Amino acid sequence: MKISEILKYINGTAEGDIDKEINNVAKIESAKEDEITFISNPLYQKYFLSTKAGAVLVREDFVYKEKPENLTVIKVSDPYLAFLDLIELFSKDEDEYSGISDKSYIGEDCDISENVYIGNFTSIGNRVKIGKGTKIYSNCTIENDVEIGDNCLIYPNVSVYQKCKIGNCVIIHSGVVIGSDGFGFAKQQDSTYKKIPHRGIVVIEDDVEIGSNTTIDRATIGETRICRGVKLDNQIQVAHNVYIGENTVIAAQVGISGSVKIGKRCMIGGQSGFVGHITICDDVIIGASVGVSKSITKPGVYIGYRGKPYYTALKEEAAIKRLPELIEFLKNYKKENKK
């Protein structure tokens, strides 16, 4: 499409040739004359004069003295978000999957809406509801009484256990398991363990994205709930009866124990771990590899082995670095006092 058409799509202003044809998006280091790129991070400004791109997105306050002759500069309020929009625009016709494969299995009394795609060797149980425009790729298992909303993307090798509910515009990547039993066992007098039955469900609200090989366990009773707008990275463990509030984002390899409640708009770093039955309030940022052992009631940044407030953890770390100096001071103090 021409740059003049792109300007209307992203609400930008251009300096340069707006009749130029753009065929794709690309990184600034490798972009070609028929591709568009962006500069959002100042670290990439060094490529501005050397890029071979046909157009570049920059912030409205971006200043330059000179530019490559064939480069059109497009100014927008947020070049990163505008570039994401263009990625979707240029790739929207790539997915040509449609229809229901004759190599799939559809159970009894299912309600499958229009424009649904179901891939090869996918098994759909009885009484399953699938909303319009949803795509379920190959080798998936959707068990009985599951509900899936409109315009969802469920990639290959996903398993959704019975009675779980998935909202609209949900993206679930390969290897995800939704609704497996929680890790619950009661120790008996003979030291063996009796399995605790899990009869609840998992509810995933609208606009959630779940990364590959993440597992979300069903509730013992009631529900495990992932609220609207939550983004989960790869390889996350969400245990039974967990509640994750709206627009919270969680990085890879986080483990959340049973009955934890996490508030809205939280950001949780990779490899963090949560003990069971605690509550995290809204607007909390938790650093990477933090062990959260008790409830957090005040918004803020928490880091360290035991999840302490940011400045408290920094003071303690600074004090630990001074330990050799303090030990030497005490030794000298004792020697002087003996004299």
Q: Kindly list the averaged pLDDT for each block of 10 residues, start to end, along the chain of length 339.
A: 93 94 94 95 93 95 92 95 92 74 96 96 98 97 98 97 98 98 94 95 98 98 97 98 98 97 98 96 96 95 81 81 85 77
pLDDT at 87: 92
> What confidence score (pLDDT) does residue 94 get?
56
End-to-end CA distance of the chain: 88
CA distance 11 to 18: 14
Catalogue the active-site residues. 240
Please give the Cα distance from 156 to 174 (Å, whole number): 5
CATH number for region 105-313: 2.160.10.10
d(CA 199, CA 255): 22
Q: Which CATH class is domain 3-91?
A: alpha beta
Provide the pLDDT for residue 95.
59
Alpha helices, H only, the chain: 3-10, 79-91, 310-321, 323-338
Q: Which residue ranges make up each domain of the chain?
A: 3-91, 105-313, 314-339
What does the pLDDT read at residue 315? 84
Q: Is 272 exposed, middle or buried (0-12, 13-18, 19+ CB in 10 A)?
A: buried
The reply to whether 3-91 and 105-313 are identical in fold is no
Measured from the Cβ of residue 63, the count of other Cβ atoms closer than 10 Å reads 6
